């Protein structure tokens, strides 16, 4: 690929990302599916980068999954989001940092709606005031938390203990980057690098020594699709989309997949188990599966965090082959115990072990 022109595309989609003082809004599902990610993000921002980030205990779900499955009406979700903005205002923050791509899409969609239909904004103000007595401001700066990690990717690289390089061969690790659709497909201007050649994750990979794979189905949706997944009989459709991606990336022999969306990560991870059970197909080298990591987990590994503290053992596809390639040391016996030595429940049927 021609780098100068890719850089030109990226330079046209440079969004402003706040430098400090973030109001953090969590994802519903990330805390259970990859429990170390959000925790590590807070640690990274506060303790490693020395920034201020605040989360308000009254923050709730954005109801995005309900919205996308036609359970929550638009007026309701606008009011829920307005309440989050009210909490931010009450806490004295102006920069919102959103952990979930579904939520990020919801926030961008709502803010754009208010721009184009100011009467909807006024109605929402009225609903929120009537329902809760709260008032809100639209954030001055809105970033997905992957934007923030992207912003500080070079600082992270300068503090790195490990690089995304195969320790034995010295070759850069080959990485598939998968961006959640609602990060930039609805509004390319809100994503770093736009929608066709997004830079947010590939920028991290390159800064940390890896090599990004451009495979034909790179821009294809993971297939999650909310309502398609929620109904069990439809899940084959969701699975088929992920499989289409896996088949397309397989010849490139990716060492791991990095994602910025909770749904994509969960499905690209767990569908590898599913398709292996259903059809006996695997997509990594030597019959293994491809580890699927969040950008926080990758940043954590690069910064030398203990992989079990990052929660990597709670993915379906286990990370050991990747850890071995990077030269990250880990203890087999500590994998499923808490910090104070109590046993943690170990998931069944883990793969890559």
Partner 1 sequence: MNSMVDVLVIGGGVAGMEAAGQLARSGYSVILAEKEPLTGGHLKNWYHLFPDRRDGNEVGEYLDNLVKNKNIEIRNNTCITGITGRKGKFTATASDGQVVEAEAVIVATGFDLFDSRRKEEYGYGIYPNVITSADLEKMFRNGSVKLADGGVPARIGFIHCVGSRDEKVGNLYCSKLCCITAVKQAMEVHEKISGVKTFCFYMDMRMGGAYYEEIYREAQEKYGVSFIRGKVSEVSQGYNGRLVIKAEDTLAGRPLRMELDMVVLMAGMEMSDAGEILAGKSSLRRGENRFFSTADNHTASNRSNMKGVFYAGTCTAPMNITESISHARAAVTEVVSYLREKKQRDE
Partner 2 sequence: MNKFGFTLSVPRVIDYDKNDRSVADLIAAKEPTFRLCIECGTCAATCTAGNFTDFSLREINVLLRRGENEAAAEKINRCMLCGKCILVCPRGVNTRNVLFIARETLSKTNGHERL
Q: Please state, in angstroms and as integers, the Cα–Cα distance from residue 286 to each residue in 255, 258, 283, following that order.
A: 12, 20, 9
Task: Check binding of 233 to partner 1 (CB under 8 A).
Answer: no
Q: How many residues does the chain have?
A: 353
Helices marked H in the chain: 3-12, 30-33, 36-43, 64-68, 74-91, 101-116, 118-132, 145-151, 153-158, 181-184, 200-207, 227-230, 235-249, 262-279, 295-302, 320-326
Structure tokens at 132: 């809760």
CB of 281 to partner 1, least distance (A): 17
Our finding on whether 9 is near partner 1 (CB under 8 A) is yes
Nearest to 213, CA basis, from 243, 175, 253, 242: 175
What are the residues whose beta carbons fall under 8 Å from the beta carbon of 318, sequence distance 6 or more? 291, 312, 350, 351, 352, 353
- The phi, psi pair for 152, rounded to 5°, reads -100, 20
252 binds, among partner 1, partner 2, none (CB under 5 to 8 A by kind): partner 1
239 near partner 2, judged by CB under 8 A? yes
Pull the structure tokens for residue 203: 């920028």
Segment interacting with partner 1 (CB under 8 A) among 113-121, 139-147, 159-167, 216-224: 216-224
215 binds, among partner 1, partner 2, none (CB under 5 to 8 A by kind): partner 1
Q: Could you tell which of partner 2, partner 1, none binds residue 214, using a CB distance below 5 to 8 A set by kind?
A: partner 1
216 binds partner 2 (CB under 8 A): no
- 306's tokens: 């203990």
Site for partner 2 in 275-314 (CB under 8 A): 275, 277-279
Residue among 249, 170, 163 at smallest CA distance from 206: 163
Distances (CA, A) of 110 to 63, 195, 275, 329: 13, 19, 36, 45
Measured from the Cβ of residue 200, the count of other Cβ atoms closer than 10 Å reads 26
Distance CA 310, CA 330 (A): 12
- Closest of 295, 283, 28, 19 to residue 180, by C-alpha: 295
When asked if residue 215 is in the footprint of partner 1 (CB under 8 A), the reply is yes
Tell me which residues in 241-280 interact with partner 2 (CB under 8 A). Answer: 243-244, 274-275, 277-279
Tell me which of 132, 234, 331, 338 binds partner 2, using CB under 8 A.
234
Within positions 147 to 206, which residues make up the interface with partner 1, using CB under 8 A? 194-197
How far apart (Å, rounded) are the C-alpha atoms in residues 231 and 318? 27
> How many residues sit in the footprint of partner 1 (CB under 8 A)?
19
Q: Which of 2, 158, 169, 232 binds partner 2 (CB under 8 A)?
A: 232
Is residue 218 within the footprint of partner 1 (CB under 8 A)?
yes
Q: Which stretch binds partner 2 (CB under 8 A): 9-17, 125-133, 232-240, 254-262?
A: 232-240
Q: Is residue 267 within 8 Å of 290, Cβ to Cβ?
A: no
The one of partner 1, partner 2, none whose footprint includes residue 209, by CB under 5 to 8 A per kind, is: none
CB 93 within 8 A of CB 21: yes
347 scored as a contact of partner 2 (CB under 8 A): no
CB of 228 to partner 2, least distance (A): 10
* 284 near partner 1 (CB under 8 A): no
Q: Which of partner 2, partner 1, none is residue 236 near (CB under 5 to 8 Å by kind)?
A: partner 2
Beta bridge partners of 189: none
Q: Which is nearer to partner 2, 61 or 238 (CB)?
A: 238
Least Cβ distance, residue 12 to partner 1 (angstroms): 9
In this chain, which stretch among 4-12, 63-71, 101-109, 286-294 interacts with partner 1, using CB under 8 A?
A: 4-12
Using CB under 8 A, pick the residue from 118, 251, 304, 347 that binds partner 1.
251
The contact set with partner 2 (CB under 8 A) reads 232-237, 239-240, 243-244, 274-275, 277-279
Binding site residues, partner 1, CB under 8 A: 1-2, 4-6, 8-9, 194-197, 214-219, 251-252
């Amino acid at each position: 690929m021609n780098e100068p022109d890719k850089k030109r595309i990226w330079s046209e989609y440079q969004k402003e990302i706040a430098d400090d003082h973030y109001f953090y809004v969590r994802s519903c599902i990330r805390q259970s599916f990859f429990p170390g990610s959000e925790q590590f993000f807070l640690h990274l921002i506060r303790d490693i980068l020395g920034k201020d980030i605040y989360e308000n205990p009254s923050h709730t779900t954005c109801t995005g999954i309900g919205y996308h499955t036609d359970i929550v009406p638009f007026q309701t979700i606008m009011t829920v989001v307005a309440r989050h903005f009210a909490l931010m205002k009450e806490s004295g923050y102006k920069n919102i940092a959103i952990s979930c791509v579904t939520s990020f899409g919801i926030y961008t969609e709502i803010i754009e709606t208010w721009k184009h239909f100011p009467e909807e904004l006024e109605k929402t103000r009225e609903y929120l005031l009537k329902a809760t007595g709260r008032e809100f401001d639209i954030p001055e700066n809105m970033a997905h938390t992957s934007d923030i990690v992207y912003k500080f990717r070079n600082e992270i690289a300068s503090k790195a203990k490990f690089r995304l390089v195969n320790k034995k061969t010295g070759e850069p690790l080959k990485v598939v980057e998968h961006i959640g659709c609602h990060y930039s497909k609805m509004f390319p201007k809100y994503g770093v690098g736009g929608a066709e050649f997004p830079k947010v994750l590939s920028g991290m990979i390159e800064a940390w020594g890896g090599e990004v794979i451009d495979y034909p189905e790179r821009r294809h949706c993971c297939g999650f699709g909310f309502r398609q997944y929620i109904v069990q009989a439809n899940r084959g459709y969701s699975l088929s989309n992920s499989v289409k991606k896996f088949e397309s990336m397989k010849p490139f022999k990716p060492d791991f997949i990095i994602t910025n969306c909770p749904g994509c990560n969960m499905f690209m991870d767990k569908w590898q188990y599913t398709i292996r059970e259903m059809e006996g197909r695997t997509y990594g080298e030597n019959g293994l599966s491809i580890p699927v990591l969040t950008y926080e987990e990758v940043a954590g590994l690069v910064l030398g965090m203990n992989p079990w503290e990052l929660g990597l053992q709670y993915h379906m596809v286990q990370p050991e082959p990747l850890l071995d390639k990077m030269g990250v040391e880990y203890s087999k016996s500590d994998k499923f115990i808490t910090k104070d030595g109590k046993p943690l429940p170990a998931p069944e049927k883990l793969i890559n072990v």
